Each structure stands twice: as structure tokens, then as C-alpha cells.
Amino acid sequence: MKIKFIKEYTLDGQVLPVDSVIEIEDQALVDTLTADGTAVLVPDDVIEQECACKTDEMTAKAVKDIEQKTISAPKAVAKEKHMKGLIKAISNTISTKAATDYSATTSTEILGIVGQDAQVYGLTSKRTVKGNLKIVYSNVNSNADAPVIGIVGESTGAGTACTLAEYDAIPAKWIATVNIPSEMVDDVENMEAFVTKELGNKLNLVLDNSVLNGPFTQNKGFNGIVNDANTAIAVIADLDAPKADELLAMTAKINPALLPNCKWVVSPKGWSAICGELLTAENIGNQLIQAGKTPMLLGFDVVISMAVPAATPMVFGDFGQYVSGVARDIRVEVDPSASFLTDEVAVKISGRFAGGLACGIQTYAGAEYAGMVYASESEYGV
């Protein structure tokens, strides 16, 4: 049954302008359209007469336009539908948060993933910055002779000089990307959740590595703990077979005031070496070491991270003394045409960060104490 639209109408996603004529077999739909004045029934002879008149008056282009309007276009193929769904899902469900807000983390909130799941970066102190990351801290506090406190509270001792230092870093951009084959977009459910989680994990590892190792070039980015002059060095004769007294000596290089917040961060190989040397029934019994889901060493929690460099497989200290500056919230972008020739959808996550250790060397009775220490086979470090 053919009907002619006297009002603009959208049918199956296609906009039908006024005077469009189509054939509809659904009697109920025809009755509805004619009842509300959207369309009218058109006899076949009237259609032929109208078409003949219009064909005489219109150009070939106009005739083509009429054909395009009156012929229903096929529905979008599944691939296009899923690609649009992926883009819509990511753009609508990924929200940026304030750099200091890590509450209510979900798998589609990338900033939350970075803040919660990054093993090393997650231990650092966060700060939102506009411009450079600037930190002022005490660089040297020489207490070779303990000050004597007078009866009214004044200090009368010598060697109480305190020097302030400023750390100034330019935020650098960090990016993680992934190209998704169109067949995966078509076939895999919850693809947007998987992609956002995967990108978050990639960026987490980059940030963890940056906190530990940098790079820090031209005063830009992360000044890695291992490369910082304020980080102490503990010599371990054989990193593949660390001894208990050597590890204990590492903890002795930390400022005692910071010990309650200290943790070990070790590489998988480093933890394996420690367990190989120390994981005995006796040591477990005296709580020197604990393996399993909540590993501990010398009474301190252990974080096992693939970001720890092989040359310095053990780092110990108060990671809260390391300040990470977030200059821009995490941004997620999707481009279905970037990899057009390879039939892929490109997704990118990026942010701008800087970081540095805001804890100087403290001296007392001729000995130096730091906020962080790493193990090396050389007294000069890496």
C-alpha cells in the first residue's frame, strides 16, 4: 500500500521529507500515519500522473534526488554501528576528575585507574599544578651537636643551620595508544571497558617507571628517585644474593622520622633473590620475611613492580616524600579514521606530569640520613 507524506517523518532512522511516496505493507502503521495526518493514501494512477508531470519539469539531478528520498536506504552495517557505539561509550562514560580526587574508581575512569592501580606512582604525593611543579624543602639540616634547650625554650647549641632548596620541573606529556581491529569492535562485548583498562595499565607502568628512573631532561618531566642526588645508595655485594645485614643497612640510611611510612619497592627478580636467600622457616618465624599475597621484609610492606630497573632491583623509603604534579587531567580520545587503511579504531590516553623528591639529606652525628635509598653493587650507584 502506497502512502504520501504530508509531514516530515523519520522511519527506521531515515528522514522522509514532505511529498515522499513509499510503499508500506504494515497495515497498522499505515492506519496510524493516516489517522494522525502524517500521510495520506495515494492511488496508483495518481502517483503515475504526478511522477510524469514532475519528470517533464525536473532535471536528471532532481529526478535522482527524488529517487534517493523515496527509496529506503539499508540500515548501517554492524561494524559502523559498533564503532560509533565504542566512540559514544568512551566519550560519554570516561570522566576526568580533579587530580586529587581518586574516589569511586571504575574501570572506565582512567584518572582513577592511574591513581589507584599504579604501584609506585600511587604511593607518591599528588599535587595539581598550573605551570611548573615547584617544591621547597630542607636540603641540609646539620645537627652534629645536639642543640641545648635553655630554660625559656631558646636553642643555645651549635650546628643548627638549615638550608632550603627549591625543586622546579616543567610537566611533560605522557601518552599511551592502542589500535583496535574492527573485527574486535564488532565481536567483543564491553570493548570500551577493556580498552580503557588496558590503556590505564600501560600508562600506570610508564608513570611507575618515570617515578623511579625518569627521564628528566632539560628540567622537564620526572626526576627519577634512582637519579636524584638526595637518594642514598646502599652497597650490596651481590644483588642476586642479598644478605639480611645488607638489607638492614639499607633501612638504617633512612631518616628515622620517616620510617613509619616506608616501603620496599623491588623488581620480581629482586624479590626472588631476596626470598632465595632469606625465606627460611627460622626467618619466617621471627618475622624477618613474609611471602604470599601481602609480602613483608624486615617489618615493612613490599611492593613488587616491573618498573624497578635491573641495575637497582631494591628501593626503600617513604615514597610519600616524592611529589607528583598533575598539570592536566587524563584525556581520552578516539579516532575511527586514523587507521582507515588498516580498518582499525585508534584510542589515545594522555596527560601531563612532573615529579621530584622533596626530601633532602639530613645529617646527625656525622652520619647522613635520606628519605629514599636504593641498592647497588657500586658505592657510586648507577
Q: What is the pLDDT of residue 135?
A: 79
pLDDT (average), residues 137-147 = 51
pLDDT (average), residues 162-186 = 79
Residue with cell 502517483: 47
Cα(373)–Cα(344) distance, integer angstroms: 45
User: In the predicted model, what is the mean pLDDT of the chain?
Assistant: 75
Query: For residue 144, is pLDDT > 70?
Result: no
Q: What is the pLDDT of residue 363?
A: 76
Task: Give 48's pLDDT tier (boundaries 50, 70, 90).
Answer: low
Q: What is the pLDDT of residue 63?
A: 39
* CATH number for 91: 3.30.2400.10
Task: Give 351's pLDDT tier (boundaries 50, 70, 90).
Answer: confident
CA angle 264/370/279 to nearest 5° reads 25
Percent of the chain with pLDDT over 90: 23
Task: Give 6's pLDDT tier (boundaries 50, 70, 90).
Answer: confident
Cα(167)–Cα(162) distance, integer angstroms: 16
Count CB-CB contacts under 10 A for residue 356. 26
Say if 310 falls within a structural domain. Answer: yes
Give me the number of domains the chain comprises: 2
Task: Give 109's pLDDT tier (boundaries 50, 70, 90).
Answer: very low
Query: For residue 142, is pLDDT > 60?
Result: no
- What is the arrangement of strands in the sheet containing 344-357, beginning at the earlier edge strand? 125-128, 322-339, 344-357, 172-181
Same domain, 63 and 93: no
Say if 82 falls within a structural domain. Answer: no
Same domain, 106 and 175: yes
Highest mean pLDDT among 288-297, 334-343, 365-374: 288-297
Q: What is the pLDDT of residue 111?
A: 54
Task: Give 114's pLDDT tier (boundaries 50, 70, 90).
Answer: low
Say if 79 falls within a structural domain. Answer: no
Same domain, 51 and 16: yes
Q: What is the pLDDT of residue 9?
A: 82
DSSP readout, 121-146? Answer: GGGSEEEE-SSSEEEEEEEEEEESSP
Q: What's the pLDDT tens digit per position in 245-281?
A: 999 999 999 999 899 999 999 999 999 999 999 988 7
Query: For residue 322, is pLDDT > 90?
Result: yes
Q: What's the pLDDT tens digit per position in 179-199?
A: 888 888 778 877 777 777 788
Task: Give 137's pLDDT tier (boundaries 50, 70, 90).
Answer: confident
Say if 37 falls within a structural domain. Answer: yes
Q: Where are the alpha helices (DSSP H) in the chain?
A: 27-35, 44-57, 60-70, 78-93, 110-117, 182-187, 191-213, 244-251, 268-278, 281-285
Q: What is the pLDDT of residue 116?
A: 58
Q: 3-state class of 160 per DSSP?
A: coil
Same domain, 315 and 278: yes
Helix axes 110-117, 191-213, angle to 10 degrees: 50
Containing domain of residue 98, as a range?
87-376
- Dihedral angle of Cα 167, 363, 263, 232, to the nearest 10 degrees: 70
Same domain, 36 and 124: no
**Residue/partner pairs of 181-185 with CB below 8 Å, 24 or more apart:** 181/343, 181/344, 182/79, 182/83, 182/343, 182/344, 182/345, 185/79, 185/82, 185/83, 185/86, 185/345
Query: For residue 108, is pLDDT > 60?
Result: no
Q: What is the pLDDT of residue 40?
A: 82
Q: 3-state class of 101 per DSSP?
A: coil
Task: Give 240's pLDDT tier (boundaries 50, 70, 90).
Answer: very high
Cα(31)–Cα(34) distance, integer angstroms: 5
Q: What is the pLDDT of residue 106?
A: 33
Cβ-contact 69, 17 below 8 angstroms: yes
Q: What is the DSSP letter of 267?
A: -
Same domain, 356 and 232: yes
Say if 381 falls within a structural domain. Answer: no
Same domain, 235 and 100: yes
In this structure, is the dihedral angle defined by the CA atoms of residues 336, 337, 340 and 342, taken in order, positive or negative? Answer: negative
Same domain, 303 and 195: yes
Cα(121)–Cα(206) distance, integer angstroms: 9
Cα(351)–Cα(343) distance, integer angstroms: 27
Cβ-contact 271, 302 below 8 angstroms: yes
Q: What is the pLDDT of residue 244?
A: 92
Closest CA to 312 of 197, 245, 208, 226: 226
Same domain, 284 and 347: yes
Same domain, 202 and 347: yes
Q: What's the pLDDT tens digit per position in 210-231?
A: 999 988 777 888 989 998 888 9
Query: For residue 85, is pLDDT > 70?
Result: no
- The pTM for the full model equals 0.64
Q: What's the pLDDT tens digit per position in 299-315?
A: 999 999 999 988 899 99
Query: For residue 70, is pLDDT > 70?
Result: no
Same domain, 156 and 49: no
pLDDT (average), residues 121-145 = 74
Cα(182)–Cα(184) distance, integer angstroms: 5
- Say which residue, 153 or 32, is predicted with more confidence: 32
Would you state the cell numbers that stand for residue 345, as one nine-digit string?
579504531
Closest CA to 195 of 100, 85, 102, 120: 85
Q: What is the pLDDT of residue 8?
A: 83
- Say which residue, 322 or 92, is predicted with more confidence: 322
Say if 81 falls within a structural domain. Answer: no
Percent of the chain with pLDDT over 70: 73
